[in-house]
Amino acid sequence: MSIDTKIVDDLVANDVSFVTTVPCKQLAGVIEEVEARDEIFHIPSNKEDEGMGLCAGAWMGGKRPAIIMQNTAIGVTINTLATLTQYYRMPLPMIISYRGELREPVACQVEMAVHTKALLNQMHIPTYHFHKESDADELDAILKYTFMCNKPVAILTDASFWGGYGDQ
C-alpha cells in the first residue's frame, strides 16, 4: 500500500469526511487520494486560515475535518489557531509538509522550518514529526487523540519521510 493511501485510509477510518487542502508537492499524492475518495468532501482553499474557518464550520455542522498544508502556513495561521480553533475548543488534525528540513533544495524554506516547532510549542499544539515511513503507524492514534481532546494537532512530515525531492 502506498503511504498516500495509508494516510487517507486512516482519515476515513476515523470518520474524517471534510478535508481542505492548500497545494504541496510532497502532499500531492495525498491530496489526489483525498479527492478520489467518496467518503471525503474535498474543498481546496486559497489560504490556510480560510481553510481553518471552513474546518471550524464543518465541525460545528457535524463533520470531522482535517487540513493539509505546508509548514510555512503556521506563520499565517497563528491568530486563527489561537482565537478560533483553540479559543472555541475545536479539533483539527493538520497534516503538514515540513519543508526546509534535511534534503531541502530551497534555502528560503529553511527560514520557516527553524521557527516551525518553536511556534507550535509556543502555541501548546501537540506536535508529531514523521521522519521515517514507519512513523506514520501512529497516525491512527494521533487522529483519535485529536478528536478526543478537541485541539489542533500538528503532524509534520519531512522530506526524508517522503523519500526526498526526486532527482538529487
Partner 1 sequence: MIRSEILKEIAPILRDELVVCNIGIPSQELHAIDDQPTNFYMLGTMGLASSIGFGLALAQDKLVISIDGDGSVLTNLGTLPTIGNNMPSNYILMIIDNGSYGSTGDQPTYAGMRTDLAAMAKAAGCENVIEVQDVDTGAKLQEVIDSGKGTVMVVKCDSGNAKMPVITMDPVVIRDRFMKAVAS
Counting contacts by CB under 8 A, is residue 72 touching partner 1? no
User: Which part of the chain contacts partner 1 (CB under 8 A), choosing from 32-40, 45-53, 128-136, 160-168?
Assistant: 45-53
Q: Which of 19, 40, 65, 113 binds partner 1 (CB under 8 A)?
A: 65
Question: Which residues in the 18-37 window bind partner 1 by CB under 8 A?
Answer: 18
Show the 3-state SS of the chain: CCHHHHHHHHHHHCCEEEEEECCCCCCHHHHHHHHHCCCCEEEECCCHHHHHHHHHHHHHCCCEEEEEEEHHHHHHHHHHHHHHHHCCCCCEEEEEEECCCCCCCCHHHHHHHHHHHHHHHHCCCCEEEECCHHHHHHHHHHHHHHHHHCCEEEEEEEHHHHCCCCCC
Counting contacts by CB under 8 A, is residue 55 touching partner 1? yes
Q: Which of 4, 50, 135, 140 binds partner 1 (CB under 8 A)?
A: 50
CB of 41 to partner 1, least distance (A): 7
Counting contacts by CB under 8 A, is residue 61 touching partner 1? yes
Counting contacts by CB under 8 A, is residue 52 touching partner 1? yes
Question: Which residues in the 80-99 window bind partner 1 by CB under 8 A?
Answer: 80, 82-84, 87-90
CB of 88 to partner 1, least distance (A): 4
